[in-house]
Amino acid sequence: MNIKHILAVVAFITLIVGGPAYVLFVKEPPKQQQTTTDTKTEQKKVITEQPKEPAFDKTKYSYDDPTSIWVVSNKQRPLNPKNYAPSDLVSVGGGQQLRKEAADNLSKLLAGAKTAGLTMSPLSGYRSYNTQVTVYGNEVKANGQAVADSQSARPGYSEHQTGLAIDVGGGGCGIEDCFGDTAAGKWLAANAHAYGFIIRYPEGKQDVTGYRYEPWHIRYIGTDLAAEMHKKGALTLEEFFGLPAAPSY
Q: In whole angstroms, how close is the CB of 163 to Zn ion at the nearest point?
A: 12
Give the interface with Zn ion as residue ranges (CB under 5 A).
167, 217
Strand locations in the chain (E): 89-93, 96-99, 120-124, 165-170, 197-199, 217-220
Between CA 102 and CA 85 the distance in angstroms is 15
Give 96 or 113: the residue with its C-beta nearer to Zn ion.
96
Give 113 or 135: the residue with its C-beta nearer to Zn ion.
135
CA 104 from chain centre, in angstroms, equals 15
Cis peptide before 247 (omega within 30 of 0): no
Strand locations in 58-148 (E): 89-93, 96-99, 120-124
Residue 83 makes CB contacts below 8 A (sequence gap 6+) with 129, 155, 156
Between CA 219 and CA 183 the distance in angstroms is 20
214 is catalytic: yes
Give 139 or 167: the residue with its C-beta nearer to Zn ion.
167
Which residue among the candidates 49, 159, 176, 214 is catalytic per the annotation? 214
Give 14 or 150: the residue with its C-beta nearer to Zn ion.
150
Q: In whole angstroms, how close is the CB of 160 to Zn ion at the nearest point?
A: 6
CA proximity to 99, closest of 169, 161, 158, 167: 161
121-149: b (≥16 Cβ within 10 Å) or e: bbbbbbbbbeebeebbeebbeeeeeeebb
DSSP one-letter code for 154: P
Give 21 or 124: the residue with its C-beta nearer to Zn ion.
124
Shortest-Cβ-distance residue relative to Zn ion: 217
Between CA 76 and CA 209 the distance in angstroms is 10
Hey, which residues are catalytic here? 214
